[in-house]
Chains A and B, each alone.
Chain A
Amino acid sequence: MSEAAWLPGSVFDNIDKFASSLGYQNAAIAMELSMVSWKSPEERDAFIMAITGEDVKGGTEKNYIKNFGG
């Protein structure tokens, strides 16, 4: 049986980025925003940066590579 892998852009990846960026105390809002059908992780991250004014938090370098404008 193969082990499930973490996928960038998945709903769990969205939860990670929103919860880490908005703060754990905003978990409910982070969950709702995570269930939005984002076109791409880049669009999602652009939204997070727009509302927080900061870089996206969460994830690790090995599974989260920024690709803005590239």
Chain B
Amino acid sequence: MPKGGYRPTAPQNNTGVSSTGGAGSKDGQPNRYISGGKYGEGKALMEQQQGASMAQQAPTADVLTGRGERVLPPLETLTDNIGGKYSDITDGASVGSPIGPEALPKNISANTRPDENKVIITRYLPDLVQAASYKNAPDSFKRFVNYLAGQ
């Protein structure tokens, strides 16, 4: 009697593959006795597994929605009141909110423009004075040069 061959009606048991290798469930991996070790080692490994539960499989996107979509929290914009920490967009400004520039860190609120202007004056004033003598140089430019020279 022939054996084997094409049997399309034979039961096929190749579905339902577990993501944990067939040794897990929603409660994690079961404890397994590991044989082949030295005397007492199998018992020690078994007790070790019982002492700490094995990691559970993290829920997948399919679990979250059932449709394969990942649920993300809604996006926040710059003007959203995040935790009530920044209640007014004018906090730290000299207008609007009662919380003024004094609430800002010192290195932010410090006015460094005079120092920067001094560097500019030292470096470029001779050229600016010469340009102010150009034909048709506007009065506004001459006023600016006079302002720098007076600093």
Name A's B-contacting residues (CB within 8 A). Answer: 3-6, 12, 15-16, 19-20, 24-29, 31, 57-60, 62-64
The minimal Cβ–Cβ distance linking A26 to chain B, given in whole angstroms, is 7
The docked-state distance in angstroms from the alpha carbon of A19 to that of B124 is 14
A19 vs B143: C-alpha distance in the bound complex, in angstroms? 10
B135 touches A20 (CB 8 A): no
Given A12-B131, A15-B128, A31-B124; A24-B138 close (CB under 8 Å): no
Q: Are the CB atoms of A28 and B117 closer together than 8 Å?
A: yes
Residue in contact with B144 in the complex, picked from A16, A60, A62, CB distance below 8 Å: A16
Tell me whether A25 and B141 are in contact (CB under 8 A).
Answer: no
Q: Mark B102-115, 1 if CB is under 8 A from A, else 0.
A: 00000000000100
Contacts of A12 on B, CB cut-off 8 Å?
Answer: 128, 131, 134, 137, 141
- A16 lies within 8 A of B141 (CB): yes
Contact A6 B138 (CB under 8 A): yes
What residues of A have a CB within 8 angstroms of the CB of B124 in the complex?
Answer: 31
Which B residues from 113 to 151 make CB contacts under 8 A with A?
Answer: 113, 116-117, 119-121, 124, 128, 131, 133-141, 144, 147-148
Report whether A27 and B117 are in contact in the complex, using a CB–CB cutoff of 8 Å.
yes
Q: Are B140 and A60 in contact (CB under 8 A)?
A: yes
Which residues from chain B contact A16 at a C-beta distance below 8 Å?
138, 140-141, 144
Q: Determine whether the beta carbon of A5 is less than 8 Å from that of B141.
A: no
- Flag if A25 contacts B113 (CB, 8 Å): yes
Q: Which residue of B lies closest to A3 (CB)?
A: B135
A59 to B137, CA, bound (A): 8
Q: Is the CB of B138 within 8 A of A63?
A: yes
Q: Which of B116, B121, B134, B147 contacts A4 (CB 8 A)?
A: B134
